[in-house]
A and B are shown apart, each in its own frame.
Chain A
Amino acid sequence: QVQLKESGPGLVQPSRTLSLTCTVSGFSLTSYGVSWVRQPPGKGLEWIAAIWSGGSTDYNSALKSRLSISRDTSKSQVLLKMNSLQTEDTAMYFCARGGYFDFWGPGTMVTVSS
């Protein structure tokens, strides 16, 4: 069955770079895209970036200068990097399948604090 699972460091210091991994199973990254979405504590959802089945990428324009999304199809993994982290980047980070958001991972909490 289709599954996605996020992994990350949990705690990141301000100004450092965040690296997150989404590991998928039950589908191929060459057939479906993957989006990253985040949710600050007690707040709503924000789309961050996506990588599509052909390898092209799209970013939230408000965050684009700080983001990089890539994939390793041999490992069924999508990687998200975000630099210059600030406290307002503290959030639950989810990966979801494609632009239909039909399957989601459980999320990984990222706290930005010194």
Chain B
Amino acid sequence: DVVMTQTPPSLSVAIGQSVSISCKSSQSLVYSDGKTYLHWLLQSPGQSPKLLIYQVSNLGSGVPDRFSGTGSQKDFTLKISRVEAEDLGVYYCVQATHFPYTFGAGTKLELK
């Protein structure tokens, strides 16, 4: 199975600060069609996860452009510019290139 390693496990931030979360996979996530099926989700407290970014860098519907994703092959980054209170929660990367799909362990974003 593909192992997804997310760092850091937690982040303490002030409102308005920018942060980055890293996600590294044990195998390349480039599929045979040339696309990379690496997505980012946010699970706010007590809520279901919500799609933020799909295929590395594409914003999900209604997601503010403070969120951005970059990366390729095995190394990916989620950046949040100007953190707002509504951004707090646990961020997960997930790979949907290889079966079984696998998630990172999560990064908990908290207020400083």
Contacts and interface: CB of A to CB of B under 8 A. Distances in A.
Chain B interface secondary structure, helix, strand, loop or mixed?
loop
A44 B92 contact: yes
Interface in B21-74: 37, 39, 41, 43, 48-51, 54, 60-61
Interface in A75-114: 94, 96, 99-107
B94 interface: yes
A45 interface: yes
Contact of A35 (B37, B50, B101, B102): B101
A102 B106 CA distance: 18
Interface residues on B, range: 20 to 34
A104 B48 contact: yes
B19 interface: no
Contacts of B92: 44-45
B40 to A, nearest CB: 10
Contact of B49 (A50, A60, A94, A99): A94
Contacts of B106: 44-45
B101 A100 contact: no
B49 A102 contact: no
Interface in A13-60: 35, 37, 44-47, 50, 58-60
A102 B48 contact: no
B23 to A, nearest CB: 13
Nearest to A48: B100
A110 to B, nearest CB: 15
A44 to B, nearest CB: 5
B48 A45 contact: no
B51 A102 contact: yes
Contact of A101 (B61, B94, B99, B102): B94
Interface of A: 35, 37, 44-47, 50, 58-62, 94, 96, 99-107
20 contacts: A44-B103, A44-B104, A44-B106, A45-B43, A45-B49, A45-B94, A47-B94, A47-B100, A47-B103, A58-B100, A59-B100, A61-B99, A61-B100, A62-B100, A100-B39, A100-B51, A101-B39, A101-B49, A101-B96, A102-B60
